[in-house]
Structure 1
Amino acid sequence: MGPDVSFSPRVAVASLSGQSDATWATNALPHVGAAFLGGIALDEPTREGARELVERDREEFLPDDPIGWIDEQLATLADEPLLPAVNVRAASPEPIADAARRCAAHDAILEVNAHCRQPELCAVGTGQTLLREPERLANYVDAATTEGATVSVKLRTELADVDLPVLASRLEVAGADVLHVDAMDSEPEIADVVEATDAFVIANNEVRGRESVREYLEYGADAVSVGRPSTEPAVLERVRSATEAWFEAEQVAP
């Protein structure tokens, strides 16, 4: 495991646009050690994309003041026993820096969204578009680390023209502490990212119980995250139990 990104249990709930706020995070306790709020659109290009998504019946956070929303949500979680994070989207590095400053003030992780594949957001140069522009994505990471934030990047596999391990290594050099990888249907790529970096790797996608948890942890992930079933206590309990059992066995192994 790389940087000291400490949370226990090593289960996170992953951002779900328009749903993942402080109340959602609190409801996931006591089964998780971290919660990724958001995603939140920070600037006018991404906010316009989010408004277009709402028009086709997708949920989005669209507060009048996105930075104020981040401050409010993180303040609400200040006394909760979990590591908070905020997943953000922006069309340029400057809004990332503003959000990172607030995350740093709350000892929260700033997560750059290089993951969303919705065309309205890709069209303005955010989401998975950033995977194909490694230097621009690295600039986002640098903008956040300059503000003193712990930085995560949400990535996805299965883009044929993206060498994810090479990109992961570049982002680590830029200052990313956490790589949050949606494995899609390419679970072995988690091992490739782990091999390429010393970052803290969180594996995501179809994490439901013992089998999926063991697969990701065997590939070397430091933690797992739960997406769509994050509001289902039974799923979270299974995932937490399986994760704790894995790491307990690792500690006693000869």
Structure 2
Amino acid sequence: MFEPRVAVASLSGESDADWAKQAAPHVGCAFLGGIALDDATRSAARDLVDRDRNEFLPPDPVAFVDRQLAALDAVDVLPAFNVRSATLEPLAEVATVCADRDALVEINAHCRQDEMCAAGAGETLLRDGDRLCEQVRTAADAGATVSVKVRTEVPGVDLPALSARLSDAGADVLHVDAMDSEPVIGEVVEAAPEAFVIANNGVRDRETTREYLGYGADAVSVGRPSDDPAVLRRVRAAVEGWFDAGRPEPQPEPGVSPDAR
């Protein structure tokens, strides 16, 4: 899917093409966004801005995605765009743009902000597998390579079972925020063996990277410290060392502090 198997994860209102360019020397994939696409999610995004959260709110979100991806044409990184929509038409439009730009489109079933959930996007989709699968099929039918950003620890959601459904619907990538339930990564890998699984949350160093890879993740992604080259270099070295050794079983390292790793 991409090399090195390190991604930087989208941070709403912050992760644009310039951000991706800065991370590109250290990673194989950059998830731009997130961006709200339709009226309901754009209204929710404006409400989020009103309470001091960062959001991208261009006049034409589809054109914005196209411009941002075009700015990465000559950059050695696989681009992706995290999007939020409660309706299918704008999702199909932006998926077509992503397909034309050789980028992934990532459906956000992850955002837990009340405003976005009330609009019918984010975590609301995670709780409604039928709608989420419909979004995946819509994006896949537009010719895009489809990622879905999901999270663990959502009451009432059997994430491994849902992951299998998403893979069957056409999701090529499952981008999993493990929260404090890291072993779920292994369950998702087992349930959806055809999907490329990216593990997210707390990826900072050799120890956290090897833990996720030990559960079978195909790659890891870095969130908040994605603008810190030292963190990205450390994670990249851990990932490359892991795969160079042929996916070894993680071994404990008594007496070695996490900071030293």
TM interval, short-chain normalised: over 0.9
CA-CA distance at 1:93 after TM superposition: 1.5
Q: Of residues 223, 239, 245 in structure 2, which corresponds to 1:243?
A: 239
Name the structure 2 match of 1:170: 165
Matches within 5 A, 1:19-98: 19-98=14-93
1:115 aligns with 2:110: yes
Q: Of residues 119, 125, 148 in structure 2, which corresponds to 1:124?
A: 119
Letter in 1 for 2:187: D
Name the structure 2 match of 1:3: none
* 1:73-104 CA distance string (max 9 Å, x none): 00000111110000000011211111100000
* 1:16-44 CA distance string (max 9 Å, x none): 00000000000012110000000000011
Name the structure 2 match of 1:226: 222
CA-CA distance at 1:251 after TM superposition: 6.9
Partners of 1:141 and 1:55 lie apart in 2 by 30
Partners of 1:80 and 1:98 lie apart in 2 by 24
Partners of 2:189 and 2:225 lie apart in 1 by 25
Name the structure 1 match of 2:255: none
Q: Of residues 166, 186, 193 in structure 2, which corresponds to 1:191?
A: 186
TM-score, normalised to structure 2, is: 0.94
Gaps of 5+ in 1: 1-5
Partners of 2:30 and 2:201 lie apart in 1 by 15
TM-score, normalised to structure 1, is: 0.96
Letter in 2 for 1:164: L
Letter in 1 for 2:172: D
Q: How many residues align?
A: 248
* 1:127-165 CA distance string (max 9 Å, x none): 011111001000000000111000000000001210001
1:150 aligns with 2:159: no
Letter in 2 for 1:39: G
Partners of 1:157 and 1:95 lie apart in 2 by 27
Partners of 2:45 and 2:174 lie apart in 1 by 24
Gaps of 5+ in 2: 250-261
Partners of 1:119 and 1:132 lie apart in 2 by 14
Relative contact order (alpha carbons < 8 A, sep ≥ 6): 1 or 2 greater? 1
Partners of 1:56 and 1:20 lie apart in 2 by 19
Letter in 2 for 1:220: G
Letter in 2 for 1:192: E
8 Å CA contact 2:242, 2:248 repeated in 1: no
8 Å CA contact 2:33, 2:56 repeated in 1: yes
Name the structure 1 match of 2:211: 215
Partners of 1:8 and 1:78 lie apart in 2 by 17
Letter in 1 for 2:109: A
Letter in 2 for 1:17: S
The percentage of counterpart residues that share the same residue type is 65
* 1:210-239 CA distance string (max 9 Å, x none): 000000000000000000000111111100
Letter in 2 for 1:244: E
Letter in 2 for 1:222: D
Structure 1 residue ranges (4+ consecutive) displaced by more than 6 angstroms after TM superposition: none
CA-CA distance at 1:252 after TM superposition: 9.2
